[in-house]
Amino acid sequence: MKRTTYILFLLLLLFLSSCSQRPRELASGLYRANIGYNDLSLLEEKITELGGEIVTQAVELKQLEVEFLSREARAQAIQKLKILPYTRFVESANSRSIFPPIVQVSSIKVEGPGWHQENLHLAQAWEKLKGKDTIVAISDSFIDMSHPDLKGRFVTGYDAKEGKEIPTNSNLEVADHGTHVAGIVAAVGSAEGIAPETKLMPIRIFAPEYAGDVSVAKALVWAVDHGADIINMSWGGPIYSISLAEALNYALSKNVILVAAAGNEGISSISYPAAHPGVIAVGATNPYGNLTWFSNYGRYVRVGAPGNRIFSSLPNSDYAFWDGTSMATPVVSGIAALLREENKDIDSYQVLSRLMAGGQSHERWTAVDAFGTVEAKTGEKAACLKLIVQESDKTGARLADIYLRHKKSNWRYWLKADTSGRAEFWGLKPGLYEISVAGPETPKIDPEDRVVVQKELELSSECTFSEIVELKTAFKLSMTWQSDDLDLAIKEGNWNWISSKDGAKFGSFSEDMQDGGEENYSFGGGISETPLKFGVYNRSDKEIKAKLRIIENGHERNLEITVPVTKDEPFEVDEIYVLGN
């Protein structure tokens, strides 16, 4: 009975962990949007006109977080703002979560190295390096700076929620998660950290709720500009954000090493910031060197570190054993601090390469070893790519997915271009790449099925600039049927339904066929601010079968439909979320 209860308890913890990572609105300010801008003066006027209020500004990145009075007001504002020439992107603001520990076991003070330190051969690594003259930023909940194992280990930090610096004697409300993570990196004493001579920079982004991507982006930039060598990110969420991506790229461009947790759902799942190109994504291993049952995995998770029963500090001079990828991540951040002590110019990719060269290789990932990593040689520096995606048909559908595939290793990276067509990749594995550009985002179609441009490009540490790609966005609809009168119908934005009898504002219809045949609609120039809906009028007195061929940003779909008799409104078939972005 006890065993059954324990298993049910673990399953409940896993379920709660999974729930914590689902996308949700920010708790404070439910209806917010993130905006990247080129001209703030023009944008401020438009935001006011749309009923929005600026709540956060990241000047260095030219980003805003704006609050609206309702979900509907935000949705309408996003549609209007993202087509303006002085905005670079507009996106809904979503929350991210700390990855909570899967198992927590409180403990009395423990002396001597933990199993993870022995498995990492840390004592041998310490004979050479201990992280001296390095700074690891802990982006997390606030840390108990008075803990006896952490006291005196801090430099000035930053509070993302309040937008102000955190002094080294701060008495902000402390939290378990940040304190435990910080101890794994740099504690001295009972629960000695991986890099006991490094300094810690507290970056509070959970207080207790997530501060928001723009506020966090601003905080990450602050950390970079104030001397952080490594940024630890034991948190994440499934939603991609250009706001956050720009801050991560800023850090990578300044040669700051980024380390992030893969997540605790035990599945192949995408989480950001871990999946961002150039970030070292970390899974959790057990004492046997295998991935734990709760650790996420996947293409972008290339290393695993001890994350099972890791002993570390808690507030009020306490300690505990915790499980989680949140615990594995600071292990890697600590090892990165050892390498940064040795080589101030080492970058994220070079750290990843040494982790893989010095660890125990598995089929798709490597179990890290601190001493092996210290002994490994530093390879070539990371490659980078700055890309501009240009449309040739000027439909206004600018957001595009960009995939890079390393031809030799099959490593893959993904980013989304902003509305000006710009995207930057940092921290890449050097070599020959296949570059795929997918048409603008469509929720019903996977990006890899929307590829409209492919080419190869050699990337090296000499950053490749402005490699221009033409992206042809298109939406074409064809309908064929045997007899009687059917008419294709399109609803463009807030306009009424139209057919070939009416003419289209943004596209064109073929000749009206009244007794079977083929009718076509093609989206032309211009911008549609809301999704395009399409349907079919049936002018007869009976059901009619028809075939539809839909070409949407390089992807083709074929449908067979039965059209009922219609009167004022057509039979609605589907809706296109793409054009007009």
Domains assigned to the chain? 25-92 (3.30.70.80), 104-375 (3.40.50.200), 383-471 (2.60.40.1120), 475-576 (no CATH)
Condensed to tens digits (0 to 9), the pLDDT of residues 505-519 reads: 567 788 888 888 999
- d(CA 510, CA 503) in angstroms, rounded, equals 10
- Given a cut of 50, whether residue 5 has pLDDT beyond it is no
SS3 state at 274? coil
- Of the residues 20, 97, 116, 140, only one is catalytic, namely 140
Token duo for residue 247:
């801050």
Q: What is the pLDDT of residues 83-113, one digit of tens each?
A: 888 999 999 998 899 988 887 777 666 666 7
Position 180 scores a pLDDT of 96
Instruction: Name 380's Cβ contacts closer than 8 Å, sequence gap at least 6.
Output: 350, 430, 460, 461
Secondary structure string (H, E, C) spanning 27-94: CCCCCEEEEEECCHHHHHHHHHHCCCEEEEEEHHHCEEEEECCCHHHHHHHHHHHCCCCCEEEEEECE
Res 556: pLDDT: 78
* Per-residue pLDDT, 83: 81
Q: Note whether 136 and 387 are within 8 A (CB).
A: no
- Find the catalytic residue in 241, 326, 499, 528: 326
Can you give the pTM of this predicted structure? 0.80
The predicted pLDDT at position 567 comes to 76
Other Cβ atoms closer than 10 A to 562: 10
> What does the pLDDT look like over 106-160, one tens digit per residue?
766 666 678 899 999 999 999 999 999 999 999 999 999 999 999 999 999 999 9
Residue 530: pLDDT band (50, 70, 90) is: low
Torsions phi, psi for 484 (to 5 deg): 70, -175
Collapsed DSSP state (helix, strand, coil) of residue 5: helix
Q: Which of 116, 147, 177, 180 is catalytic?
A: 177
Rounded CA gap, 389 and 399, in Å? 9
Residue 305 scores a pLDDT above 80: yes
- 226 classed as catalytic: no
Give residue 229's Cα distance to chain centre: 21
Q: Is 177 a catalytic residue?
A: yes
More confident residue, 471 or 9: 471
Neighbours of 202 (CB within 10 A): 25
- Axis-axis angle for helices 40-49, 71-81 (nearest 10): 140
- Kindly provide the residue ranges of all beta strands, DSSP E only, lying in 168-299, ordered along the sequence: 199-204, 230-233, 235-236, 257-261, 280-285
Q: Which residue has the tokens 């310490």?
A: 126
Q: What is the pLDDT of residue 158?
A: 98
What the block records as the tokens of 325 is: 């990828």
> Nearest-CA neighbor of 170 among 144, 149, 209, 148?
144
Q: What is the torsion angle, in degrees rounded to the nearest 10, for the CA atoms of residue 261, residue 262, residue 266 and residue 268?
A: 180
Based on the residue annotation, tell me whether 121 is a catalytic residue of this protein: no
Between residues 244 and 505, which one has the greater pLDDT? 244
**Residue 22's pLDDT band (cuts 50, 70, 90):** very low
Residue of higher predicted confidence among 432 and 442: 432
Indicate if the pLDDT at residue 6 is higher than 90.
no
pLDDT tens track for 175-203: 899 999 999 999 998 789 999 999 999 99
Q: What is the pLDDT of residue 419?
A: 79
